[in-house]
């Protein structure tokens, strides 16, 4: 009761007291012969104040309630449409990412370096940024795309993703004889993997955008950093990594060396 009184004091126009399911009441009847009869009776529900207030609300706020319901349905429809659109766009974006990841792989494989530098593939990634931006209606000039690619490369270096991915890929490759045949394989597969992470991160980032980005400097770096970390962690599962390394080997090595890799897996 004290809670009800407190609510009535704070918001008197909304709170009403009702008894939709009243507790049974003990009834006692004294007979003329002195006997006493007792039984339980359940009172009728007391919702008169509620129905009265609801009627007043419908009369006074009926139009607002209709608008609120319509707005809620519109927002749900918008969310559903956005999910469907993002699914279609992602189906178009993935082949684009795969195209550029293998271009990056070939470039790094042909010119291996002691330590992979993601910024070395900035020119390739810049074009990928433009292509993905076109799919998600995020327009970039070449200069803006280069800025985005450089920003993402810098973030990946600062977050340690370059070193972590290279070590993980080296571990997978060292279990196969093919590693000793192709010296640039680690660099090539790592370049492909990091390009893929960058592309998937951009896709996730674009999907969260409500309005188009008109400038390469309009990136939300905190959100982009979080997206990079999340996508990287999702793709660090050993099964996914091993599958990707196998794809990289097929793209970068001659058929004879691929056969050697298969034989080493069978005998392992």
Residue-by-residue DSSP string for 70-126? HHHHHHHHHHHHHHHHHHHHHHHHHHHHHHHHHHHHHHHHHS--SS--GGGGHHHHH
At 88, the pLDDT band (50, 70, 90 cuts) reads very high
Burial readout 151-167 (b: 16 or more C-beta within 10 A, e: otherwise): bbbebbeeeebbeebbe
At 253, the pLDDT band (50, 70, 90 cuts) reads confident
pTM of the model: 0.68
Cβ-proximal residues to 214 (8 Å cutoff; 6+ apart), any chain: 139
- Which pLDDT score, from 0 to 100, does residue 215 have? 44
- Which pLDDT score, from 0 to 100, does residue 100 have? 94
Residue 268 has pLDDT above 50, yes or no: no
Spans of all domains in the chain: 100-253
Pick the closest to residue 104 from 23, 195, 27 (CA basis): 195
- Which pLDDT score, from 0 to 100, does residue 71 have? 83
């Amino acid at each position: 009761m004290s809670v009800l009184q407190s609510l009535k004091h704070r918001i008197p126009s909304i709170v009403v007291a009702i008894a939709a399911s009243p507790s049974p009441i003990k009834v006692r009847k004294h007979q003329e012969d002195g006997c006493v009869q007792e039984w339980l009776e359940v009172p009728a529900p007391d919702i008169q104040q509620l129905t009265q207030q609801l009627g007043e609300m419908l009369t006074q706020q009926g139009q607002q309630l209709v608008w609120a319901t319509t707005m809620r349905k519109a927002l749900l429809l918008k969310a559903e449409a956005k999910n469907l659109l993002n699914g279609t766009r992602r189906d178009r974006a993935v082949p684009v990412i795969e195209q550029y990841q293998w271009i990056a792989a070939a470039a790094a494989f042909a010119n291996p370096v002691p330590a992979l530098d993601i910024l070395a593939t900035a020119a390739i990634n810049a074009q990928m940024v433009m292509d993905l931006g076109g799919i998600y209606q995020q327009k970039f000039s070449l200069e803006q795309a280069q800025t985005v690619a450089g920003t993402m490369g810098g973030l990946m270096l600062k977050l340690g993703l370059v070193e972590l991915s290279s070590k993980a890929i080296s571990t997978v490759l060292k279990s196969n004889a093919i590693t000793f045949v192709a010296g640039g394989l680690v660099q090539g597969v790592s370049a492909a993997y990091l390009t893929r992470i960058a592309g998937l991160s951009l896709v996730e980032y674009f999907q969260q955008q409500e309005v188009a980005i008109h400038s390469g400097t309009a990136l939300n770096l905190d959100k982009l950093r979080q997206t990079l970390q999340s996508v990287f962690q999702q793709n660090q599962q050993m099964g996914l990594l091993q599958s990707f390394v196998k794809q990289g080997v097929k793209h970068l090595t001659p058929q004879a060396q691929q056969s050697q890799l298969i034989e080493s897996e069978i005998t392992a």
